[in-house]
Amino acid sequence: MASPVAAGIAGLLWAADDSLTPEEVVYAMESTAHSVNPAENNWSSQSGSAGAVDAGAAMDFVLSSSNPERRSIEDAKVELMGEEDRIYTGKEVRPEVKVSLDGVTLKDGDDYSVHYSQNVEAGTASIGITGKGQFKGTKAVSFTIYPKELEKSDVHLSSYLVEYTGARNYPDITVEFGDRKLEWGRDFTVSLASGSGQDPGWNTLEIEGRGNFTGKVKKSFRILPEGSKAVYPKDAGSCFQAGGSTYEVKSVPGEDNPVNNAVVYLAGTSAAKKATVPAWVSYGGHTYKVGGIKAGAFKGKKKLTKLTVKSAALTKASVKGSLSGSKVKYIYVKVGSKATNKKYKTTYKSYFAKANSGKKVRIK
């Protein structure tokens, strides 16, 4: 507890300059105190660890404009470090502060103290730099807290398959930030980027951040044909049969993969004399793009000599070894118009060359 004398002098100093901080008042009294030996006099009631308080000297220290030690912190240069870290986190954002005066870096805690305010939400935050010790006054600076960018992994649809109702029908949308669910309207908005949101087919939603969040994320969902129920596709690596042929799933369609580039042709029926590799194949209410023919797909099919290719998605790698061990003699390219077919005949001639496909054939 301060002595009555010290407390009285502190009151006088504040009366002379009400902008002084408690630290500045203490510094003024300690800097001007007289060294004493309590054993030789009766000044112990006026003395502390710094000595005997001199009210006049302390007042002169505070009021003296010629005192080079007490400078205004307002003249200091303030630098804020780590701008890339000033992003909304849901907690206080407190950038590191560097304060210097005339090229000399001041020391936090000794020369100044730092106070933050309005430093949680995205927008403008404030910092108060208050002088201590040899420095007085307060310098205010501001900085920007930037909104957090939404990411695909933050946004979830309850399902990417929605049954037809005749009216607009969206899946439920959840946007998460850590362990917190964001609020539609306050933290993000949703709009329809493509599709009607009502008719059967693929639709794309655009989720856009607002307030403390920014950026756009797109998610797709499919409205099924009227009367169809949601049936989810097989996992990658599994097989299914459609139109008498067998296919292997390579990738599963979903909210981030509405294109469905999903299957390769495995095999047709053993007794068939001809086979067709379609551009698309449907199964369980889903449409898959046929992007390849498995190696040895026609091996053992002794009667199969003609192959029609309607898929324009084949690659040299995806048909490698596909004709190995087969009896196929002719490949008919039927991917589109006459001009398109001519183009793909040239391309597929190299893809189905013996060195790649495993058997010499004629492209028609």
What DSSP string describes 243-288? TTEEEEE-S--BTTBTT-EEEEEEE--TT-SEEEE-SEEEETTEEE
Does 11 score more than 60 pLDDT?
yes
**Sign, CA torsion 353/357/361/364:** negative
| Mean pLDDT across 198-202 | 87
> Sorting pLDDT into bands at 50, 70 and 90, what band is 122?
very high
The pLDDT-based confidence of 277 (bands split at 50, 70, 90) is very high
Question: What's the pLDDT score for residue 35?
Answer: 53
pLDDT at 127 over 60: yes
In angstroms, the CA 49 to CA 113 distance is 24
CA 21 → CA 6, 49, 111, 225, distances in Å?
15, 20, 12, 74
- The answer, yes or no, to whether residue 10 has pLDDT greater than 90, is no
Helix-strand-coil split of the chain, %, nearest 5: 20, 35, 45
Q: Which of 243, 244, 278 is nearest to 262 (CA)?
A: 278
Q: Please give the average per-residue pLDDT across 277-295, as a whole number.
A: 83
* 70-94 confidence digits (pLDDT tens): 788 999 999 999 888 899 999 999 9
Pairwise CA distance, residues 248 & 292, whole Å: 10
The dihedral over CA atoms of 16, 22, 26, 27, expressed in degrees to the nearest 10, equals -90
pLDDT for position 125: 95
Which of 26-35, 36-45, 47-56, 107-116 ranks highest by mean pLDDT? Answer: 107-116
Distances (CA, A) of 116 to 51, 91, 127, 138, 325: 36, 12, 5, 13, 76
Of 5-14, 115-124, 248-257, least confident by mean pLDDT is: 248-257
Q: Taking a C-beta distance cutoff of 8 angstroms, is the pair 327, 304 a contact?
A: yes
Residue 344 above 70 pLDDT? yes
Q: Is 57 helix (H, G, I), strand (E, B) or coil?
A: helix
pLDDT exceeds 80 at position 309: yes
Q: What local confidence, expressed as pLDDT, does residue 31 receive?
A: 62
What percent of the chain stands above pLDDT 70? 82
pLDDT of residue 255: 56
What's the chain's average pLDDT? Answer: 83
Percentage of the chain exceeding pLDDT 90: 45
Average pLDDT over every residue of 192-198: 89
Is residue 48's pLDDT more than 60? no
Q: Averaged over 31-45, what is the pLDDT?
A: 50
What token pair was written down for 46? Answer: 């006026």
| pLDDT tens-digit map of 314-334 | 999 999 999 999 999 999 999
The pLDDT of residue 308 is: 95
The answer to whether residues 302 and 329 touch, using CB atoms and an 8 Å cutoff, is: no
Q: Identify the band that residue 282 occupies on the pLDDT scale cut at 50, 70 and 90.
A: confident
Q: What is the DSSP string of 278-345?
A: -SEEEETTEEEEEEEE-TTTTTT-TT--EEEE--S---TGGGTTTTTT----EEEE-SSSHHHHHHHH
- The runs of H, that is alpha helices, within 3-146 are 4-16, 22-32, 55-63
